[in-house]
Amino acid sequence: MKIFQKYFSPTLSISSLFFVLLSGLFVSFMGVCCRSVLASDDGEASVLLVKSDDDVVIYKKDIIIHSEEIKAAPKKPEEPKTAPKKEEAKKPKQNELDMMEVGAPVPTRKGDPKEFKVIEKPVAVRPVEKNQEPSSLEMADKYLKEGKKYEARNMLSDIFINKKLPQKQHEIKELLDTLNKELIFSASPSPDATMYTVQPGDIISKIAKQFNTNYELIIKINGKSTSRLNIGEKLKVLTGKTKIVVSKNDFTLTLLLNGQYVKQYRICTGKDDKTPVGAFEVKNKMQEPTWYSPAGGVFPYGHKENILGTRWIGFKDKPNLCGFGIHGTTIPASIGTASSNGCVRMVNSDVEELYDFVTMDTEIVIKG
């Protein structure tokens, strides 16, 4: 005890204790200062890194992280790097699509959705060529409206004969027949005819021969009941060449004058395809013909076995083709069928009308 008192006086002990405490405070103060945040000139927090053997302290702005905390903090898993996605254009919603009509307002993509803009819907218009010509049917209609019946008839005739509008064949045929009632089958002047003035000494058969036509046709189209003529009288005389076109497939016979439609008739053709095809010339013409049967019988007109009807138009013979022609029938129900022995049958009234147009130079063409 005395030894202790010798070395440690009360005064010395108090002074030593004070010194120790003061040293500890100084060390603590320095540690705090080292952990202070240093401000930069612009007022923002600077980053200070203090490294020792066992401790790393990072100062970033006002955040203090110790090395122990860094080691203990769980690492956030890295997200896989992907290429930045291109911004896809937004597709319009259905209600917007519904509004895309001519003159319909559509919400804009930017700004207030209540704002609208007008989308003009293009209208497909067929371009019209400067020198584009109207169709044949349009031209025919134009001629009819202008009263040019002859020009309209010729235009429609071309459409009908060449079947340019198959779906309108029946309609065009009816219109042609109506036009030809005036142009062909009446005494009205027509470019297809000559208006002949009767001279002293004229008779109808003489006039017919002069214009290569038939006596009966002049009588018919001029509406005469007798053959008597008056000097100075005007007669309509059809001029030009006639042609007959037979279609076996359609069961039709078409009469043409100067290449233009006159009339079309229904016919009967040969059974077992016996009606020959090709071009034929007229051999003879007979009214109330006698029938010479292939079996050897001879049957005059009016006989119950005579099947030729009221008219006969015979074809000139060809090798292996003899005895063919166009005639009437005693079996009108056969029209529109293939039931003859090879000749072309017609209803009697039709063949009588055709007969008046046919001359010895009429061309006959039969098609399959």
- The residues carrying an active-site annotation are 327, 343
Rounded Cα–Cα distance for residues 252 and 350 (Å): 12
- 276, 366 Cβ separation under 8 angstroms: yes
How far is residue 317's CA from residue 346's CA, in Å, rounded to a whole number?
21
Dump strand ranges (E) for the chain. 47-51, 56-60, 63-66, 105-107, 116-118, 193-197, 234-238, 242-247, 252-257, 260-266, 269-270, 278-287, 291-292, 298-299, 311-315, 325-327, 338-340, 344-345, 363-367
Residue 87 CB partners (closer than 8 Å, separation 6+): none
Calpha distance 123→363 (Å, rounded): 54
Q: Where are the alpha helices (DSSP H) in 278-340?
A: none
Q: What is the DSSP letter of 265?
A: E
- 97 three-state secondary structure: helix
The CA radius of gyration of the chain, in Å to the nearest whole number, is 58
CB contact at 8 A, 190 and 150: yes
Closest CA to 276 of 149, 367, 153, 175: 367
Beta-sheet pairing, 338-340 with 269-270: parallel
Identify the bridge partners of residue 194 per DSSP, sorted by sequence position: 237
Rounded CA separation 151/118 (Å): 51
